[in-house]
Every structure is written in structure tokens, then in C-alpha cells.
Structure 1
Amino acid sequence: MRYIVEHALSTFKIEDVALHAGLSVSRSIHLFKSSTHKTMFEYTHEIRLSSAIDRMTGMKMTLEHIAEKCGFGSYPYFHKVFKKKYVMSPGVYRRTGSQRPKSRFRNWISEQLSYPIPPSFFLLYKLLKNPP
């Protein structure tokens, strides 16, 4: 899981994750799905979307540039994935804005897991807890 978090914004293959974990591809897919109840693909999309939201609310980048920097490859694909998840386009989401989760929670979860968690994870958590 850590490998995916660290490499989610770039292109990687499931084979890379399996090799890093020292497992076969099928075993790594099975273990990941059984522990997270998501596919590696779904988990990667969540991280990428969360990073995109961070950039949309905190930076003055174009949506096309955000899509590229967050690993989506193209804006049309980013738009499709974003709209499917949040039932609104990235542009509408950017105009409506959102609030970040409290840093106290971020610190607590990082302590529990014993390694730093990217800020985008916490925005994702908030969105899952309180959808727009």
C-alpha cells in the first residue's frame, strides 16, 4: 500500500507493486483487495483525485495541468473519473470549493500508522465521510 501511495501520481504497473512487496501479481492483487476492499486501480484513483482536489483548492493551476501532474494523463480522462466519483465536473467543484479536515486528525492517524500520510489522504477521507 505504501508503494502505491508513494507512486500514485506517476505511472506504475501492478507488477511494480508486486515486485516491491516480494509477491506474485495475483497474490498481491488478492491481498490488497481483501485488506482494503478496493482494487489497486480504485485506490490509486482515490489518491490521484485527492491530490487533484488539493491542487484545485490550493493552487492556481489549470485543470489540464492538474490532470497531468496527478497522473491522469489527459484532462478528458480526469474529467470522466472526477465526475463519476463526485457527480460534478472538476470546474464546478473548484468554483464551489471545500474545507480541509482538521490537522489534529492528520497528526493522530500519522502517529497510529508510524509513517507520514500525504495531506491528500485526509481530504479524501473528508470527502468520503461528507460527500459534496
Structure 2
Amino acid sequence: MANFGITGGGKQTEAFEPTMRLAELEWSVTGYTFWNKKRDFILQSDTYPTWCLFAIESGSFAYEIGESHGTAGSGSLVLCPPNVPFRRRTAASPMTFHFVLLRWNEPHPDNISEDGSAPRLPVTFTPADSHRLFDTFGKWRRLNALSGFKRLSLISHYWNDIWKTWCLEHIEGDGPDVPRSADKLMNRAARRLEERCSEPYGVKELAGELGLSPVQLIRRFRAAYNMTPGDYLTGLRMKQACRLLCETRMTIEQIASACGYASGYYLSRLFAARMSVTPSEYRRRNRV
């Protein structure tokens, strides 16, 4: 079996770049538990013999997986590989999430390069199609009433749909929401900002990962997208905040944490400046 690695928040880790090889990856679900309004983790650290997935509906938690670390909130998917310590603590409770044990089906030999290398998998990611993701969460909750193989088989089907859709969103040339330019390194920078927009992450960390100085990064990113990486990141976070205001009952503090901000006060000020309306007023106008 090929050794698929992980990538995420650690400084030593490579940036994740999805390829068609990952979109072709097939998963099987071997275990599933739905947790509703869980206040805290009983185990602050655990290790699993298979891949495990935390799919978060509401609330947030801080995690450490290998060299990767960050905070995952509503709409985030956290993937931990086998036999790697998964450290976690609640950041905003209660938490509602889906805990899934996974294995990946052996790929066709043509999917593995001659040198034995294999694509790297992300530790945390957030699908752009949030309506599709939360619709899947609803299906999983309903399937939880079933038992045995049939339940796991159907959950596997919906997980593979989410996984492949997310990969295709981020492959070069695909995904209408992903800006593209002739500067491939800046395309990579944009994707990296999308992957980390729910974490405390900024220009300094991104520049270090890309081997550039912050000044070099800002100059090249502005030339590619007519905005700074900081402005692009803020735009992603505002989009995330808008979605959470409309689709969840999370407090402003919880939404701030899920969007990578230190406090609800800071988010409220930034949101009002960007959107010309307060978060609470935006929620009132747009909730159905």
C-alpha cells in the first residue's frame, strides 16, 4: 500500500496541492458516530489504527496532528492519518460533529509514480459548496438510524462525493471560485490561503512556506490578483462569516474563532467596515 502523507499547519510541512490522482482516490467508511452538542473531549489525545475524520457542524476545536496545528470550526473537515497522535481541545462548545473512521481502497498501480512517491493529503480543509456539505451532514444523521454494512456503505458514498468534489474544486484549471494567473506560485499561494482561512494564519507564515519574503509575496500576489494576500484572506473570511451567520446559531465569538480571528469584537468591527452592516444585522436580514 502506498504511503499517503499529510500536510497542514506546521512550518516544516509542504503546501497541499490537489491533483487528479487524489480525486481518483476511493474511500470506505469503517466506523461512524454522530455527536450532538458535545461539551468537551474525554480524551485530549488519541491515536487511531485507520484514518479518522472530524466533520464539524457547529462549535470549534483546536487540534495538533503531527506538525500541523490550528483551529477548525463549522464546515471544516479534519483528517488524521493512522497511528499519528491526534491532540484536540474544545475552543467553542458545545460541538456538533461527525466522527468517521476511514480506509482508502488500494489505487490502481498507474496512480502511483515510478519512484514510489504519493500525493499528500490535507489535515484540514473546507469545501466551497457549503450547502452540499451540510446537506451531506443531514443525510449522515438520517443514515445513523440504520445499522450494519448498509449504513456504512451509504455514508461512504456521500463521503466520496464530498472528497472528489473538493479535489476538483482545487485542481489547476477547475473551480470557478479559484482565481488563476500566469504565476503558478501565486496560484498556489491563493489555494493555501483558502485552506488556512479558518485558522490564525497570515502573510508572514505563507511567505515562509513559499520561500519568499513578505514584501516579495505581497508584490507578486498584487501583480497576479490586483490585491494583497491579506485582502484576499480577509475576503475569504468574510465569505465564511456570512455563511456561518446565515446557516448556524453560532455566536459572534464562535464565528470569529472559526474564521481565524482572535475575538468577536475584532470580527464585528472588520465585518461592519467591509459589509457596511453589523454581523447581527446581516444575520437578521439574511436568515430564513
TM bracket, shorter-chain basis: 0.5 to 0.7
Superposition deviation, residue 70 in structure 1: 0.8
Give yes or no for contact 1:3–1:20 (8 Å, CA) kept in 2.
no
CA deviation map 1:67-125 (0-9, x unaligned): 121112111110111000111100000000079xxxxxxxxxxxxxxxxxxxxxxxxxx
Partner of 1:10: 199
Structure 2 stretches of 5 or more lacking a match?
1-189
Alignment of 1:57-72 (within 5 A): 57-72=246-261
- What TM-score does the superposition give when structure 1 sets the normalisation length? 0.68
Percent identity between the aligned chains?
26
**Structure having the larger proportion of residues in helix:** 1
Larger radius of gyration: 2
Partner of 1:83: 272
Q: Distance in 2 between matches of 1:63 and 1:16?
A: 26
SS in 1 for 2:198: coil
Within the alignment, does 1:37 sit opposite 2:222 as a pair? no
Q: Distance in 1 between matches of 2:202 and 2:275?
A: 26
**Structure having the larger proportion of residues in strand:** 2
Give yes or no for contact 1:29–1:39 (8 Å, CA) kept in 2.
yes
Aligned pair count reads: 99
Q: Distance in 1 between matches of 2:205 and 2:255?
A: 24
Within the alignment, does 1:48 sit opposite 2:237 as a pair? yes
Give yes or no for contact 1:55–1:66 (8 Å, CA) kept in 2.
yes
SS in 1 for 2:255: helix
Structure 1 stretches of 5 or more lacking a match?
100-132
Question: Residues 75 and 21 of structure 1: is their aligned pair in 2 closer, same or farther, counting only changes over 3 Å?
Answer: same
- What TM-score does the superposition give when structure 2 sets the normalisation length? 0.33
Question: Which stretches of structure 1, 4 residues or more, deviate above 3 A after TM superposition?
Answer: none
Partner of 2:216: 27
Superposition deviation, residue 16 in structure 1: 2.2
Alignment of 1:111-126 (within 5 A): none
